[in-house]
Amino acid sequence: MNLEKVVFGFFVVLAATLNFGFFIGDIDNPELHNPYELFAAVVVNLIATVLKFGDRTQIGAVHLATSLVADLQLIGATLMFGYATYVSTAGMNEAWTASVVSLSGGALLANVVSVVLLVVETVSFHRG
């Protein structure tokens, strides 16, 4: 067992699960989407991205690309969340919640691709 692979797999999967946890629930109901979960998703996604630095294989490059997409979407979501809470006069209403959650949904898709890549890599490793 390779500790590096464990850590890598752990963060990739955790990023996807946290993202999923935030995303699930009615899209326009702010009560069902915990900001702490979004925060955790952003942090874990950033760590997963850094872990993917410096891999020269083709699959490593796609890994890094999916992570960057997820980061972009999640940071976009947090920016909207912050704007809705602190700047917008309407506050965290249904429309804002829907935007934030849909952005995180996009990130979830990227994270799912990442997990699929991880599985593909593992399976092909066993075959080889």
Interface residues toward another protein, by CB under 8 A = 35-36, 39, 43, 46-47, 50-51, 53-56, 78, 81-82, 85-86
In the complex, what is the shortest distance from the CB of residue 53 to another protein, in angstroms, rounded to a whole number? Answer: 5
In sequence order, the 6+-apart residues with CB closer than 8 A to the CB of 57 are none
Identify which of residues 83 and 123 has a Cβ nearer to another protein in the complex. 83
**Residue 41 in contact with residue 104, Cβ under 8 Å?**
yes
**For residue 52, with 0-12 CB atoms within 10 Å meaning exposed, 13-18 middle and 19 or more buried, which class applies?**
buried
| 90 CA to centre of own chain | 27
In the complex, what is the shortest distance from the CB of residue 62 to another protein, in angstroms, rounded to a whole number? Answer: 15
Identify which of residues 34 and 123 has a Cβ nearer to another protein in the complex. 34
Identify which of residues 86 and 125 has a Cβ nearer to another protein in the complex. 86
